[in-house]
Amino acid sequence: MDEGSIVRKFLDADFHLTPDALEVLQRQADGDLVADRILLDLRRMDEKPIVVNAEIIEQILKKISIDKAGLSEEGIKAEIPPPAKTVPELTHLKFKPFAREVEARVEVLMDVTGHSYGEGEIEDFLELFKDRYERISKILRNRSDFRDVVQIRNLRRQESGDVVKVIGMVSDKRETSGGHLVMELEDLSGKASVWIFKKNKDMINKAAKVVLDEVIGVEIKILGGDRGPRLMVSDIFWPDLPSPREPARADEDVCAVLLSDLHVGSEMFLEDAFLKFLRWLKGEIGNSDQRDLAGRVKYLVIAGDLVDGVGIYPRQDEELLIQDIFKQYDVVAELLAEVPDYIKIIAAPGNHDAVRPSEPQPAIPRDVAPGLFDLGAVMVGNPVWVKLHGVKFLIYHGRSFDDLVSAIPGLGRDNSTPVMIHLLQKRHLAPIYGERVAIAPEERDYLIIDDVPDVFHCGHMHVYGCDKYRDVIVVNSGTFQEKTIYMKSMGVEPTPGIVPIVDLKANQARAVRFV
């Protein structure tokens, strides 16, 4: 980035660079990206400096630790400048979106909508957990190191000193009075208690990531004893994703915009930021690179919580701008009507939407949100597997994150992708039964991650995140809602107005800020 471009960028934002500050910026490898990020921090300051010197620049650089790798890892590649600065410069330019010339290719691969047959009987739940065990067990058995598996009922036939492997569903996990850890495992043949001594710190730490009702593989060493053999855990295995793997790529230069947690109807819905996002989609604002990116957007995917709903959390009514849920969906449709007609909208529900609370959730019905159907949106359930231009997406709102954060040490609400990666490792979207997530007793477990997605897209956390795990792009699309009373009570610090975009041909993700 040349000297004149840097100076103009800061002058446009009403900041004057000193020569020493300019010198610091020119030394940065990604000058344009670094300048955008520094401007973002300058705008957020309570007392904005008119003159920006080297000391201020270096303080910001130190704070955000920007380098080339950091920018790539963070996923924040660009920021939409304020419309007052940008739009006048672009009024003479024509917007010719490449995506307008491309036909949408949407294929719904798996969706509970129209296939929900469970009646809530005990037998239905038994079939659900049997299906979970058998399908995840099959994934584990496909591992090269997990093919000789012993049934639990045969463990007592083993000799002292034998090392065997079992696959079991975790029905209990507890600490003894002596500080040892005991896990109860079940398979279709029986139950067994397996032990980890407290002195085995590495295995204790590994077992801390085990949650109830998930299916795991365990390597066991048989120790003889007067009361029968004791089963000691020597290793734990999750089904996990295969690696390395070549992800699918689109054969055309198109992108998918990922959204979630709009919460239309709430006073905290950031309508101005969302309208700015819509203007960007239409090519009305942004620099040339940002407008080029907007022109390649072919899909807009929403991972739940389109509306704020009614009666979802205590004191919600104090923050509702629209009390009628049908009117909330009418406003969503009015907003999304501004999306260019060549962009295909795919919308799944979340726990605030007008569908059953138990997962899997069917699509938002036409009688609740007719305006979305009139727009030609592809209305799908939660979770759902879809292909967009040949790229496989697993879309899940993320209600189970609450249970995982409570169960696994080290997970928090301030970082949204680690919990998603845990689900990929466990190959299940909601492994814990009986906590905050209600599980519907379907004939098959729709929450198992049978296949390997190219993109795993979630919401719910209200915190933007982007990562890559074993060649899967892992994205949490954050929110367009400011902090609510409920978020304050839960200690959630939202990151609203950050929109991830996945380049389906390049297999890369980036993000654009609208706040």
- The number of angstroms, rounded, from the C-alpha of 158 to the middle of its chain's C-alpha atoms is 44
Please state, in angstroms and as integers, the Cα–Cα distance from residue 503 to each residue in 7, 53, 141, 255, 347, following that order.
31, 37, 34, 4, 19
How far is Cα 60 from Cα 66, in angstroms, rounded to an integer? 9
Q: Which helix (DSSP H) or strand (DSSP E) does residue 466 occupy?
A: strand 464-469
Tokens describing residue 182: 């005991």
pLDDT of residue 23: 86
Tokens describing residue 478: 């954050």
∠ CA 259-261-264, rounded to 5°: 110
**CB 235 within 8 Å of CB 261:** no
How far is Cα 407 from Cα 316, in angstroms, rounded to an integer? 27
pLDDT of residue 84: 33
The sheet with strand 384-388 has its strands ordered as 106-111, 384-388, 391-396, 455-458, 472-477, 464-469
pLDDT of residue 270: 96
pLDDT of residue 12: 67
What domains are there in the chain, each with its CATH number?
3-74 (1.10.8), 105-117+249-513 (3.60.21.50), 144-237 (2.40.50.140)
Q: Could you list the pLDDT tens digit for every one of the 515 residues in the chain?
A: 577 778 877 876 778 888 888 888 888 876 766 887 788 778 778 777 888 898 899 888 887 653 333 333 333 333 433 333 333 334 446 889 999 999 999 999 999 999 887 777 888 899 999 999 999 999 999 988 888 899 999 988 888 889 999 999 999 999 999 999 999 999 999 999 999 999 999 999 999 999 999 999 999 999 877 677 789 999 999 999 998 889 999 999 999 999 999 999 999 999 999 999 999 999 999 988 999 999 999 999 999 999 999 998 888 889 999 999 999 999 999 999 999 999 999 999 999 999 999 999 999 999 999 999 999 999 999 999 999 999 999 999 999 999 999 999 999 999 999 999 999 999 999 999 999 999 999 889 999 999 999 999 999 999 999 999 999 999 999 999 999 888 888 888 999 999 999 999 999 999 999 98
pLDDT of residue 279: 96
DSSP states of 334-360 as a string? HHHTTS-TTSEEEEE--TTSSS-SSBS
Name the burial class of residue 249, with classes exposed (0-12), middle (13-18) and buried (19+) by CB atoms within 10 angstroms of its CB.
middle
Nearest partner of 462 among 408, 407, 401, judged by Cα = 401
pLDDT of residue 64: 61
pLDDT of residue 116: 84
In terms of DSSP bridges, do strands 472-477 and 76-79 run parallel, antiparallel, or are they unpaired? unpaired
- The number of angstroms, rounded, from the C-alpha of 150 to the middle of its chain's C-alpha atoms is 36
The set of residues, in sequence order, having a beta carbon less than 8 Å from that of 394 and lying 6+ positions away, is 383, 384, 385, 449, 451, 453, 455, 456, 457
Q: Quick one: three-class SS letters along 402-446?
A: HHHHHHCCCCCCCCCHHHHHHHHHHCECCCCCCCCCCECCCCCCC
26 SS3 class = helix
DSSP states of 472-514 as a string? EEEEEE-BSB---HHHHHHT----BTEEEEEETTTTEEEEEE-
How far is Cα 500 from Cα 277, in angstroms, rounded to an integer? 12
* Residues β-bridged to residue 513: 79, 498
DSSP assignment, residue 453?
A: -
The set of residues, in sequence order, having a beta carbon less than 8 Å from that of 142 and lying 6+ positions away, is none
In terms of DSSP bridges, do strands 455-458 and 472-477 run parallel, antiparallel, or are they unpaired? parallel
> Tokens 């009139």 identify what position?
374
Q: Which helix (DSSP H) or strand (DSSP E) does residue 132 occupy?
A: helix 122-141
